[in-house]
Structure 1
Amino acid sequence: MRASRLVSLLLLLQARGRRTAQQLADELEVSVRTIYRDVQSLHEAGIPLYGDAGPEGGYRLVDGYRTRLTGLTAEETQAWFLAALPDPAAQLGLGEAAAAARLKFSAALPPALREPAERIRERFHLDAPGWYSPGEETPHLPAVADAVWNRRAVRVRYRRWREPEETERRLEPYGLVLKAGRWYVVARGDGGLRTYRVDQILAVAVLGETFEAETGFDLAAYWRAYLADFHARLHQGEALIRLSPRGAERLPQLLSHAVARAVAERAEPDVDGWVRALVPIESLSHAHTEFLRLGPDLEVLEPLPLRELLVGSARGLAALYGAG
């Protein structure tokens, strides 16, 4: 465990330059005293590591020093190859660079690690979009990614779901997120930080203006908070439903995870083997479409407007197919 931490400390200094003992302790989740001991151990091993005192001080490696990749474990090597799968890099315009990096990384590995790592490439393939989605076209992704990398402001023509459908905005793009095969850009505009779908950008012009990100901004933390807020706002109502045994069995495959979880946790026995449960819904129209998937194996008891929507659909189907 300590050997792995020493390698991590060395790679942090190599990748990020001068770091204080407190910064290293925070990143490695150990005490400052432990960092002092680890630095002493690296000194004794002949690593050209130096410490400077004062407000601008910290530990650093002598300029030009590079460690070999012999500190990697087999699991860490395989994880790197799995994380470096080619499709996202290609979408960002970095396909060739990613392939070259994998080749160089592989060449630098000890022989004992090279073969297991190559098996990752041979035996695992990531296809992020869902079965019923071919993936969104994102022709402006490379331009947006370049603006993110270089902290350049952009002016975009953007398509949104409400009127007016097309709008122009000046954005300061902070970062990109790939979620379920779809790219999102987190950017600051007139209304503060917002999240935009890159496939809905119709045109982009990179401006001759740079910007500074807000102090302390953390893309991963922002995205976690964004998802939490999204899920909190997603279900604004509830419905009381009945499910047949067949409906309860098919529900996890046909309806949302939130509905399936509510049934699993709250279902109470009803007559003839049916169960009833109070489940979350996004809206009446969305629930109407979703619940139709289970046909006669799901009955809505409340709210009445949702039940009436389903009754109307049932009557329309009966009339269409000539049922009495």
Structure 2
Amino acid sequence: MRASRLLSILLLLQTRGRLTARQLAETLEVSVRTIYRDVESLHAAGVPLYGDAGPAGGYQLLNGYRTRLTGLTSDEAEALFLAGMPGPAAELGLGAVVTAAQLKLQAALPAELRERAARIQERFHLDAHGWYYDGDQSPHLAPIADAVWNERVIQVCYRRWKEPTEVTRILEPYAVVLKGGKWYLVARGGEHVRTYRVHQVLNLTVLDRTFERPADFDLAAYWRSFLAEFRTRLYQGEATVRLSPPGLRRMGELMSTAVMDAVHETSTAPDEDGWVTAVVPIESLDHAQTEFMKLGALVEVLKPYELRERLEATARELAGLYLRS
């Protein structure tokens, strides 16, 4: 355990530069006194590590000192190879870079770990795209990612759902996020940080200006907040439905987690035919009509009445189309 912590201190200083004892302690979830003892041990082992006192002080490795990767455990080496997703990396323009990095990592590993890590790639494959969607194809993803990395201001022509549908925006790109096979850009435009669908960027110009990304911007926290707000805005109403046993199973394959959670929370006991009644969230009448039509006669909408009437009208049109003599 202590050997692993000593290696972690070295890698943290190697990757992040100067760090205080308190920062190291918080990262490694130990006491500051423990960090002091670990630093003494590293000194005794001949590691060129020095510290400065004062508000701007901290520990730092001598310039040029690098630790090797022989301290990796087998589980850690396997996890590194499992984390690579060649598809998304290639979409970002980093496919060759990821391949080169993996080759260098393989070369640095001892033979036993190299064999175990290679086995991971033979047995596991991570595919971020959905079953019925191959992901966004956007010629602007790679230059957007480059602008994010180099903190370059961009000008985009963006297609949105409301009028005017095409708008021009000057953005400071903070991050890109892959969600369900779709790429999103998190960027500041004016006073607000917003999320943009990369696929909806029609034109892109990288401007000859840079910006400073806020040091306190937490991408993971922003994304959690964005998803929570998105789900709140997404469902504007609810519908009461009856579901047959096959319909209940099929709904689980076609509809969102929020809809299925509502089914499990509100469904009644099955009637004599096995059907259950539940109250589920819906986005809009138009969207709900399309979604419930996918289930055909496996679902019956009871409320709202306007949605039920829409489905009845569609059913009559289908019957007239297919029952022509």
TM-score in terms of structure 1 length: 0.94
Change (3 A) 1:217 1:106: same
Q: Which residue of structure 2 lines up, in the alignment, with residue 277 of structure 1?
A: 278
- Corresponding position of 2:132: 132
Alignment of 1:100-179 (within 5 A): 100-179=100-179
**What code does the residue aligned with 1:246 have?**
P
Q: Is the 8 Å Cα contact of residues 129 and 180 (structure 2) preserved in structure 1?
A: yes
Q: Match for residue 227 of structure 1?
A: 227
Residue 209 (str. 1) matches residue 232 (str. 2): no
Aligned length: 324
Mapping of 1:1-324 within 5 angstroms? 1-269=1-269, 270-322=271-323
Greater Cα offset, 176-185 or 148-157: 176-185
**Inter-partner Cα distance in structure 1 for 2:87 and 2:273:** 51
1-structure distance, mates of 2:97, 2:300: 55
Aligned CA distance change for structure 1 residues 36 and 143 (closer, same or farther; 3 Å): same
Moved more, 241-250 or 296-305: 241-250
Alpha-carbon spacing, 1:160–1:66, altered in 2? closer, same or farther (3 Å): same
Q: What do residues 107-158 of structure 1 show as CA deviations (whole Å, max 9, x unaligned)?
A: 1111121111112223333332222223221211221111111111111111
* Equivalent AA in structure 2 for residue 165 of structure 1: T
The alignment partner of 2:130 has SS state of: coil
Question: CA shift at 1:241, angstroms?
Answer: 1.1
* CA distance in structure 2 between the partners assigned to 1:4 and 1:188 by the alignment: 40
RMSD of aligned residue pairs (Cα, Å):
1.8
Q: Which amino acid aligns with 1:276?
A: T
8 A contact 2:155–2:168 mirrored in 1: yes
Among the aligned pairs, what percent are the same residue? Answer: 63
C-alpha distance in structure 1 between counterparts of 2:128 and 2:20, whole Å: 39
Once the 2 structures are TM-superposed, how far is the Cα of residue 195 of structure 1 from its aligned partner? 0.8
Amino acid at match of 2:42: L
Q: Which runs of 5+ in 2 are unaligned?
A: none
Q: Structure 1 116/181 Cα, relative in aligned 2: closer, same or farther at 3 Å?
A: same
Report the CA distance shift for 1:179/1:255 in structure 2 as closer, same or farther (over 3 A). Answer: closer
C-alpha displacement at 1:319, in angstroms?
1.5
Q: Kindly provide the amino acid, as one letter, of the partner of residue 46 in structure 1.
A: G
Deviates more, 1:40-49 or 1:66-75: 40-49
**Aligned equivalents of 1:123 and 1:273: distance in 2?**
41
CA contact (8 A) 2:49 2:60 kept: yes
Q: Secondary structure at the match of 1:128?
A: coil
**Deviates most, 295-304 or 57-66:** 295-304
Alpha-carbon distance between aligned partners in 2 of 1:78 and 1:125, rounded to the nearest angstrom: 13
* CA 252–25 in structure 1, closer or farther in 2 if over 3 Å, else same: same
**Aligned equivalents of 2:198, 2:258: Cα separation in 1:** 27
Q: Which 5+ residue runs of structure 1 have no aligned equivalent?
A: none
Q: Secondary structure at the match of 2:273?
A: helix
Greater mean alpha carbon deviation, residues 46-55 or residues 85-94: 85-94
AA in 1 matched with 2:195: T
Q: In the aligned structure 1, how far is the partner of 2:245 from the partner of 2:126?
A: 36
After TM superposition, the score normalised by the length of structure 2 is 0.94
The amino acid of 1:34's aligned partner reads: T
Separation in 1 of the partners of 2:239 and 2:114? 55
Distance 1:131 1:172 in 2: 33
Give the letter for the 1:263 counterpart. Answer: V
Residue deviations 1:252-286, cap 9 Å, x none?
12332222222223211235332111111111111
User: Aligned equivalents of 1:316 and 1:203: distance in 2?
Assistant: 42
The whole-number CA distance in structure 2 between the counterparts of 1:83 and 1:144 is 23
Distance (Å, rounded) in 2 between the aligned partners of 1:31 and 1:318: 73
- Separation in 2 of the partners of 1:300 and 1:91? 42
**Aligned counterparts of 1:85 and 1:310: Cα–Cα separation in 2:** 42
Alignment-mate amino acid for residue 117 of structure 2: A
Deviation of 1:95 (Å): 2.0
Deviation at 1:175, TM superposition (A): 0.9
